[in-house]
Structure 1
Amino acid sequence: MTELHQMQCEACRVGAPQVTDEELATFIEEIPDWQPVVEENILKLQREFSFGNFVDAMAFSQQVGELAESFGHHPAILTEWGKTTVTWWTHKIQGLHKTDFIMAAKTDRLHQT
């Protein structure tokens, strides 16, 4: 199987299928630092990234924003002193799509570089 971070995102549309419980279990194995969370009755992927200061957290937030814009798929990004919290989900389907896992894996790669 191709690693998530190497996959291309699929365009999502209203009515696209959300991930199944089986897919969730499989995909989350590749991104173990991400947690499924429910906010406003919507299943999302969330991870907190730690940094030594606000400047580094803000720089990472900017990188995530640029990544998101390049794929046309946008997360919630919360930047605080020493941390950035990124939350992925697909707005059009009000839940998780395979694309969210791909973007989470790509976000992890950004943090590793």
Structure 2
Amino acid sequence: MAARLTDAQRESALAALSGWSYDADRDAIRRSFRFAGFIEAFAFMTAVALEAERADHHPEWSNVWNRVDMLLTTHSAGGLTAKDIALAHRADALALRFAAD
């Protein structure tokens, strides 16, 4: 099982992520992504879903038209772990592929 991040590890990890914020109530990180339209938002979700499945680590998320809201926490560990940080970095990289020109 993945170990929960310490406060110092969490702060360091968040400093390296752009647009993500800490949700203390959930011991999670969250971000809202915006795209040109629904097709780009859904394509992003599909790409993240494939990465999440490979990592066996799945986000909590929702989609409304051009917006994807994502929350990452590791339920089996009871909070934020390195798995969440890794998926956040991958989601950030994938978002660039579907960003509006």
Q: Name the TM tier (shorter chain).
A: 0.7 to 0.9
% identity of equivalent residues: 27
State the TM-score, normalized to the length of structure 2.
Answer: 0.88
1:48 aligns to 2:32 (yes or no): yes
3-state DSSP class of the match of 1:36?
Answer: strand
Instruction: Check conservation: 1:78, 1:85, Cα contact below 8 A.
Output: yes
Partner Cα separation in structure 2 for residue 42 and residue 84 of structure 1: 19
1:27 corresponds to which residue? Answer: 13
RMSD of aligned alpha carbons? 1.2
Q: Distance in 2 between matches of 1:108 and 1:64?
A: 10
CA distance in 1, matches of 2:96, 2:18: 14
Task: Please list every run of 5 or more consecutive structure 1 residues that lacks an aligned counterpart in the other structure.
Answer: 1-12
Shift of 1:102: 1.1
How far did 1:52 drift?
A: 1.7
| Structure 2 unaligned spans of 5+ | none
Give the TM-score taking structure 1 as reference length.
0.79
